[in-house]
Amino acid sequence: MTDSPLQIAQTDAIRTITVNRPEKLNALNSATLDALDAAFADAERDPTVRVVVLTGAGPKAFVAGADISEMQALSANEGRDFSLRGTRMMRRVERLSKPVIAMVNGFALGGGLELAMCCHLRIASDKAKVGQPEINLGLIPGFGGTQRLLRLAGRAATLELCLTGVPITAERALQLGIVNRVVPADTLETATTELAQQLANASPIALRGMLDCINVGGECGIEEGLEYESAQFGLMFSTEDMREGTTAFLEKRPASFKGR
């Protein structure tokens, strides 16, 4: 559909989801949140998809935030519902069993940074800026920003970004652990594709197991996390991918994983 807020394309096992509202700097309104939720649900179900890349259309923004023109008229109850809507979608992304890479090509502010943070990996252009500027609107982050930023960057950085609302450069975001890599703007797409292809060539079962372990470990005590990891490790031994991977290593050849 020409009026869809997303563009979706797939090359081999890599699906790219692009927030396509460049005239609004890809701001997140309700329709876009719902479309993203449906797109990630479809990527989860589709066996041809091994990796998802998420980005924004146009040269200026990944996602510049939530759509203020829609938010401005909301009541308290409607505001809470809007927050829950975004939180559910981002939780789906975070819990996806396939790696999700945020390709941050410009501004990632407010809801845009929250969207990037729920992805598993983040590659940013050296021209990108990130921040949680909600304080300037008389608001607080509503899509998990205080919680994910705290876990990624720590208390001091979270307080600074949220209380001042001042965006930071991609390089500072890298130093704080908010993004994984920063590359020149003209190599961003190539660098993202190379990483996505590396992950697409890996065992889907092992990737899913690692994502599960890291998600569980980040939300429980160390003993529970270690027990869960051991259980997942044992399950790998029942897979064809594990036999292929170990055999390929011993035979000094690249592995060909089938996801079985």
Instruction: Specify the CATH number for the domain of residue 209.
Output: 1.10.12.10
- Write down which residue in 164, 180, 200 finishes a domain: 200
- State both tokens at 106: 């410009």
Q: Are residues 120 and 10 in the same domain?
A: yes
> Residue 260 domain-assigned?
no
- Write down which residue in 200, 219, 239 finishes a domain: 200
Model confidence at 4, pLDDT cuts 50, 70, 90, reads confident
Handedness of CA 82, 87, 90, 92 (dihedral sign): negative
Q: Are residues 185 and 242 in the same domain?
A: no
Average pLDDT, integer, range 153-174? 97
| Structure confidence by residue, pLDDT tens digits, 179-211 | 999 999 999 999 999 999 999 999 999 999 999
Largest CA distance in the chain: 64
pLDDT of residue 2: 52
Q: How many structural domains comprise the chain? A: 2
223 in active site = no
> Residue 196 domain-assigned?
yes
Domain enclosing residue 241, as ranges: 204-250
| Inter-CA distances, 70 with 31, 78, 79, Å | 11, 11, 10
Q: CA-based angle 36:42:48, to the nearest 5? A: 130
Average pLDDT, integer, range 41-69? 94
Say whether pLDDT at 132 is over 50: yes
> Residue 93 domain-assigned?
yes
Q: Are residues 146 and 212 in the same domain?
A: no
Q: Indicate which residue of 23, 44, 94, 134 is catalytic.
A: 134
Q: Are residues 195 and 213 in the same domain?
A: no
Q: Are residues 108 and 231 in the same domain?
A: no
pLDDT of residue 25: 93
Handedness of CA 109, 113, 115, 116 (dihedral sign): positive
pTM score over 0.75: yes
| Structure confidence by residue, pLDDT tens digits, 218-256 | 888 899 999 999 999 999 999 999 999 999 999 999 999
Q: Are residues 188 and 240 in the same domain?
A: no
Q: Which residues of 16-44 are buried (b: 16+ CB within 10 A; e: fewer)?
A: bbbbbbeebbbbbbeebbebbbebbeebe
> Residue 64 domain-assigned?
yes
Q: Are residues 121 and 145 in the same domain?
A: yes
Q: Are residues 72 and 189 in the same domain?
A: yes
Average pLDDT, integer, range 3-31? 94
Q: Indicate which residue of 70, 94, 114, 194 is catalytic.
A: 114
pLDDT of residue 1: 42
Q: Are residues 30 and 93 in the same domain?
A: yes
| Structure confidence by residue, pLDDT tens digits, 143-158 | 999 999 999 999 999 9
Q: Are residues 136 and 117 in the same domain?
A: yes
> Residue 107 domain-assigned?
yes
d(CA 90, CA 155): 22
Average pLDDT, integer, range 44-49? 97
244 in active site = no
> Residue 20 domain-assigned?
yes
> Residue 76 domain-assigned?
yes
Q: Are residues 134 and 216 in the same domain?
A: no
Q: Are residues 82 and 139 in the same domain?
A: yes
> Residue 255 domain-assigned?
no
| Structure confidence by residue, pLDDT tens digits, 81-96 | 999 999 999 999 999 9
Average pLDDT, integer, range 108-123? 97
Say whether pLDDT at 213 is over 60: yes
Average pLDDT, integer, range 90-103? 97
Helix (H/G/I), strand (E/B), else coil: 16? strand
pLDDT of residue 219: 86
